[in-house]
A = this chain, B = another copy of it.
Amino acid sequence: MKTSIGPRTVVYPTPVLVVGTYDQSGNPNVMTAAWGGICCSSPPCVAISLREATYTFGNIVERKAFTVSVPSEAYSREADYFGIASGRNVDKFAATGLTPVRSKIVDAPYVGEFPLVLECRLHQAVEIGLHTQFIGEILDVKADESVLGEEGLPDIEKVKPIVYAPEIRTYHGLGKKIGHAYSIGKDIGG
């Protein structure tokens, strides 16, 4: 039996994405966003939704570039902090001791300690409501060699990403492998 719980922003799993930008003075900033994910295969694009009130919003409008760093579970505290503090008031890299690394291909910094990074050029901005969605074309992905698996691709079990549950506002780790996509269901209806 299903119950109505009203028009809530609840999709599981939701990612924890750390958006890196430079401000007008060239200072590196990061903020955590949960409203986002891949939105196109060709060109490869990732979408990040931000409120206009955030410091990062103005930085992306100005620089037309951003990075998305995926934190591993070991950096849950830092990722949470990046979503609480504002770059207007504090240097979040200095506060956490994490390292801003200047991207060589887009005008934005990423978090050196996080295992997976997307370097993006602004493709388009979509005004929705409280949030504006910034769609970035992924020009390159960088991954720590330690998280690469077979075929040289990032192994999610080595990346150990954080899973976010909106509304109840909890963070979770990754569970056990279930199986392969485009495979475990192919015998149905056959």
Contact = CB atoms under 8 A, between A and B. Distances in A.
Interface of A: 1-15, 17, 34-47, 49, 51, 68, 70, 73, 76-85, 90, 92, 95-96, 116-118, 123-124, 126, 128-131, 133, 135, 137-145, 148-157, 159, 161-186, 188-189
Contacts of A152: 3, 5
Contact of A9 (B3, B44, B51, B156): B44
A60 to B, nearest CB: 15
Oligomer: number of copies: 2
Given A131-B40, A141-B4, A156-B168, A12 B175 contact: no
B185 A80 contact: yes
Nearest to A37: B37
Contacts of A77: 184-185, 188
21 contacts: A1-B145, A2-B117, A2-B142, A3-B143, A4-B141, A5-B152, A5-B154, A9-B46, A9-B138, A10-B116, A11-B118, A40-B49, A40-B131, A41-B129, A47-B47, A47-B133, A76-B184, A77-B184, A81-B189, A156-B165, A170-B180
